[in-house]
Structure 1
Amino acid sequence: MALIHVNFYAETLGMSRSMDVIIPQIKNGIGQDGKFTLTDKDIPVLYLLHGGSDDHTMWQRRTSIERYAVSKGLAVIMPSTDMGCYTDMKYGYDFYTFYGKELPELVKEFFPCLSDRREKTFIAGQSMGGYGAFKLGLTYPERFSYVAALSAMIRPQHLFEGETIPEFAETIFGSPEEIEGSVNDLYADTENLLMNTSEFPNFMMICGTEDFLYLDNLDYFNKYQKALNMQGIWEPGEHEWGFWDRNIQKVLEWLPLDTNGEGK
């Protein structure tokens, strides 16, 4: 595998951004098999989103995602959104538009060997990144065929609870009332998908039973599991990287890949 750090200009955001990219290579490394030839132009892609307070480096710093991806022949795109919640902010940047439209186009421009076909394009994330993965998967079903959330922030309205409201919550969302029924409301996004789309992505939710977000995840799963034919994994665990390192492996096993990195 090759690990590439990319600095680039994002027109939607009007500023430079960074992403780390894992790409399969044709040569064998120690304990690793090369999966592709120089003529391959359709390598499957996973967009892997980070959580709050993290950045584009965190998945490879806290897990063995590169080692897990090599056996699948899978490219992994790990971009940075800062604390933007993958949202077109009320006062700030249009991160949601960037991720849904501009970023996939830039990835294809920079890496022509990577697939842009729906059946080979997947998205996943943890915590805030799980929220982003579901929001993008629900609202761009024509782009992503498999969508996974680990310990997802299901209801950003909870950011406004408690004695002290984080300043970033108001900057991003405005108020809880502005979230309800908007594109930032996963329940509203799901209802829109069910009413307006006949071909759904495949969805998976994973959360630890000791995670402070467990009940929110379970509520969403119970409401939409049947309609979305959604997979769910609930097991002992908290909101931490050991849990996510174990369970991102289950996500990769769930994706439609064989050992040669080809879609099943």
Structure 2
Amino acid sequence: MKLARTGTPLLLGATLALSACTLGPDFHKPTPSAPAAWPELQEKAAPSQPQSTPLEARWWETFHDAQLTALIQRAVDRNLDLQIATSRLMQSRALRMSIASAQYPSVDVNAGYSRARNSAEGLSDPSGKGGKSAFNLWQGDFVAAWELDLWGRVRREVEAADASVEVAENDRQGVLLSLLAETASTYIQLRSVQSTLGVVRENLDVSRHSLRLSQMRLNDGVATNLDVAQAAAQVAAVEARLPTLEERQAQL
């Protein structure tokens, strides 16, 4: 009995000492350092300064454009790249939960019910009724297990899973930012082309009106054919800009 009592504390102490051991060194996230400005630009331009106010999460709403807001929402809901990045993030989180579950005890409970009637000839009847009537049979078992993480294997796997989740989150955030920026940039370019088209069409109306006036002045003898030709050339020059702008508008 004395040997058993002295051996138990020793075994417990050894178990605790082993559980404190962990495979591999602790990971320390590096801190990247970047120069304030590129060496070749230090003498040409001052380095950029950080903004004092953070960028709003829904920055596109500062334009107060309902069409832009609707387009961005549509892109976020339907973009396949963003859906893939979101699926990968969900997979990483599910895998992390699965790995972390190994740190805790697992419990498995099974239960079953059946109704039977045995023959009285050559069979054992657990109901004790000798096969004369049917009986209810309830069965169940309870299993509990826990793996002691002596060497820190599970802890290291959880740390790696956490890093994978962080990478997936950053990837999705990058895809989202790229999608928002591309959608807003394309929309702003479209509005710019549409505005330019409006100005060109107004200039075309003015040029055509000038051409008509030049023809009237030619008929009245107060203008020359050169004046009419110059007005017609102006009309043709303005008209030549329309197809390029209209094609660009359709592309955007």
TM range (shorter): under 0.3
**TM-score, normalization by structure 1:** 0.19
Bigger fraction of residues in helix:
2
Bigger fraction of residues in strand:
1
Q: Which has the higher contact order (CA 8 A, sep 6+)?
A: 2
